Chains A and B, each alone.
Chain A
Amino acid sequence: ETGVTQTPRHLVMGMTNKKSLKCEQHLGHNAMYWYKQSAKKPLELMFVYSLEERVENNSVPSRFSPECPNSSHLFLHLHTLQPEDSALYLCASSQEVTRNTEAFFGQGTRLTVV
């Protein structure tokens, strides 16, 4: 496998459920990101990890909990979500957390909260 892989591709969950999104990159990158893509809104950067340490947390509600066990894997743990959290969640990676470094994106997980 190459690139950035996200699983599952689609997820439907109730507001009381707990689920996790998984992201894996095979590019040897040191930085990984979670973005939220909602309809007709700009992509929102949620979390940034560099060498497994969180370097960015953009005022994201605590019902979203990221985990980065190593530089190749990134998780987003979800619990007690709201319907407005329904969106496409994109994972990305880059060589470093620096300017002008290209970000490579996964295909995303389409999340629906019912």
Chain B
Amino acid sequence: AQSVTQLGSHVSVSEGALVLLRCNYSSSVPPYLFWYVQYPNQGLQLLLKYTTGATLVKGINGFEAEFKKSETSFHLTKPSAHMSDAAEYFCAVSEGGATNKLIFGTGTLLAVQP
């Protein structure tokens, strides 16, 4: 069975500081990995995904994540936080393909201080 662990349910950074949101996964098959963002009272938006190929994945809004198989990690980073980045971020894993379910981590609430 697949699972996702997000370390830190709340992360607070200053505007302009590095954002690092941690995600570790467990999967018996090569995983497909995703980061989603949810702004207050809004739906889920895909930030980026890793399926195969290049392990450093760039997404929207300046975010990127690196797939590290040896560490079973897929941490999300952004060099410089903006106030507009304040939201809940979810890491998720699937076995790939349209018929396989997506399993979510517990989420990390990012606060950005002025």
Question: Are A and B associated in one complex?
Answer: no
Interface residue ranges, B against A (CB under 8 Å)? none
